[in-house]
Chains A and B, each alone.
Chain A
Amino acid sequence: MAQVSMTVNGKTVSGEVEGRTLLAEFLREGLNLTGTHIGCDTSQCGACVVHVNGEAVKSCTMFAMEADGADVGTIEGQANADGSLNVIQQAFQDHHGLQCGFCTPGMVMSAAALLKENPKPSEAEVRTYLEGNICRCTGYHNIVKAIMAASGQDVSAIAAE
């Protein structure tokens, strides 16, 4: 066992982990931050995407010890300070960007990483960026629409809800 400490959603946290403890496990089981989902556990689906030092990573495919000292962001840290949904989350609600919601934490975290890098992406750029995020329910149209809307673009011409 080893001691790790990191900043998660702005708070310093620490805990005991094994070498094999995944970052996703540390977040979910060590810190009870169960918003980060584990869908495939094989780096395919993106339900577990979090930010490590500002970059989107699949937390099921990174060891907790590798995040020692890092700045980690999860879905729990996305809402505004007053608890209201942030602009991406609100757009997912407004544009019906989720059905069962299982993929949504990863989608929102990937979307946030995309918009940081590319504040006004085209529809094609959004779709390409989401290659590693799989949704079994929505057919993606409304997810793409929500992300376009969150970036402040007019989405009235994009595929129907």
Chain B
Amino acid sequence: MYEFEMTRPTTIADAAKALGDEDAQALGGGQTLIPTLKQRLAMPSALVSLGAIPEMKGVCMSDAGEVCVGGATPHAVVAAEATAYPGLAGLAAHIGDPAVRNRGTVGGSLANNDPSACYPAAALASGATIVTNTREIAADDYFQGMFSTALEDGEIITEVRFPVPEVSHYEKFVQPASRFALVGVMVAKFADGVRVAVTGASEDGVYRWTEAEAALSASFSADALADLAVSGDGMISDLHGSGDYRAHLVKVMTGRAVAKAA
């Protein structure tokens, strides 16, 4: 690791100021960034830890009935406290392993936008709002392809607001070596329709499977997917699975998520 200076501000305002420096980078739970630094794939001159900012931690309900999660809230806390949204709590409870869940944060996961990460599926399927220190971004506008998001340099995810569906479930086919999703599908049924978000599959990162959304909005059952076909074109192909295999899993995982939705 190259040497850097570390600061631990206690307010969002101070963190934003420290991140104004071009070579500074935010540190969430470090579960991705620290391995990246060890490989010398990143070379920030300063790291601004978001771990000591009380206003960025915790789970609460907004007046509009959304589950609001502070940007520096670890996965384990979401798993334990997002009881109003069982699909979200269940997703958080199955990220990585217990030690990773005690450190990794929702803000870090969404900022990183790993194509196999779980939280992007939750944010997109819920139609969440990503709140930063400067603005609010709709999930539909936020994800811009693998490892790419609408965030500007130095912008901090301070909170994520998840509208609570009537029923939902996240079904993950675990890649056992990394414990990320080989394919993961979040299904969320709202009064005005169903949203389906797929992670781990596409070379463009998380996406909405709109054909399944239409079919499930008409009839919320795994059988409604029977006539849909998923193409392997543009799907990730690696030693863990071909594009066609992932395409197949997308439909299987969606069906299972519908069957388990609660």
Contacts and interface: CB of A to CB of B under 8 A. Distances in A.
Interface of A: 2, 18-20, 22, 41-43, 46, 49, 52, 55-58, 61-63, 65-66, 68, 110, 113-114, 129, 131-133
A57 B104 CA distance: 10
Contacts of B8: 65-66, 68
Contact of B97 (A19, A63, A68, A131): A131
Nearest to A56: B99
Contacts of B98: 56, 110, 113-114, 129, 131-132
Contacts, number: 74
Contacts of A66: 8, 30, 49, 51
B99 A63 contact: no
Contacts of A49: 99
A127 to B, nearest CB: 12
Nearest to A49: B99
A132 B99 contact: yes
B30 A62 contact: yes
Contacts of A43: 31, 34-35, 100
Nearest to B103: A57
Contacts of B38: 41-42
A134 B96 CA distance: 13
A6 B51 CA distance: 16
B37 A46 contact: no
B199 to A, nearest CB: 19
B150 interface: no
A18 B27 CA distance: 16
B147 interface: no
6 contacts: A19-B3, A20-B37, A56-B98, A58-B99, A114-B98, A131-B96
Interface residues of B, number: 26
Contact of A20 (B2, B96, B97): B2
A2 B5 CA distance: 9
A62 B103 contact: yes
A133 to B, nearest CB: 8
A110 B31 CA distance: 18
Nearest 3 CB-CB pairs, A to B?
A132-B97, A19-B6, A131-B97
A133 B100 CA distance: 11
A140 B47 CA distance: 38
B6 to A, nearest CB: 4
A116 B76 CA distance: 15
B260 interface: no
Contacts of A132: 96-100, 179
Contacts of B97: 46, 129, 131-133
Contacts of B49: 63, 65-66
B35 A42 contact: yes
Nearest to B34: A61
Contact of A61 (B4, B5, B35, B47): B35
